[in-house]
Amino acid sequence: MPPRNPPPPPGLVIVDKDRGPTSHDVVGKLRRIMGTRKVGHAGTLDPMATGVLVVGIERATKLLGHLSLDTKAYTATVRLGVATTTDDAEGDPLGEPVPVDVTEDRIRAATAVLTGDIEQVPSAVSAVKIDGKRAYQRVRDGETVDIPARPVTVSTFDLLAVRRDGPFLDLDVTVDCSSGTYVRALARDLGAALGVGGHLTALRRTRVGPFTLDHARTVEQLAESPGLSLDLATAVATAFPRVDVDDAAATDVRIGRSLPPAGITGTYGVFGPDGAALALMADRGRSSRPVVVLDPAG
């Protein structure tokens, strides 16, 4: 039997996802490209969306549930003139198109109302769970879905350009928002506020947490030249506050022991004298305890 190839080093791959594949599809391709089954993703992107998808390789998959991906940034195109069943271009039109005759001032006023701390009703085909079942699955099963509004923060909802396409107006916008915000719901609500209906026709995620398109490569580029975007130590140092410890403390961390508190709020990365990322830890009263050990002893 020929020897197995050694597993790839742990770290993050920041993918610039194409339109069409699901996030799960991307993970499947990365498993083949990177030569390991230990691949996972954080911050799901819809099939129609492109841009930043954070993928963990080997031990870095343990980071995914702890990454601070609470803010995201997008560029998007909103079509005014008709709403759809899915709030995006993949849904069926809700009624006939309406000729759009609204000024940029009215559009900017409406986006301003949708900026800040707002209550947003997610799209009916979102992944929000209702009584343990995804909303989109309930819609596919023919159920009527009533999703309650939830608080989100839209830091930026800026109009970049307006283009006419027949009876429609296409708006190029940028959005900075909290995790859990649905940009297609913003498109829906903007169209409703202007009385003409609206839906999303294009969406590109340019940033999730600290990870941007500057870090990203397409699946095709990765297939030609496999490799990490950030090794494990760089990924931890990018996403978390850093604490360096000596050899004795590093040994304790590797076997899951507590350390004296670091005086840092939230989760932070602990690094050994050699620069290796040992663990994610968090202060708990009079000690710092491992959240996840990344470089265990043995």
Give the residue numbers annotated as catalytic, written as ranges. 46
Integer-rounded Cα radius of gyration of the chain? 22
Q: Is the Cβ–Cβ distance between 12 and 30 less than 8 Å? A: no
Helix/strand/coil percentages in the chain, nearest 5: 25, 35, 40
Q: What is the DSSP letter of 148?
A: P
Beta-ladder partners of 228: none
Query: Residues near 146 by Cβ (< 8 Å), separated by ≥ 6?
Result: none
Residue the block writes with tokens 């954080």: 42
Distances (CA, A) of 227 to 120, 163, 175, 210: 39, 40, 30, 20
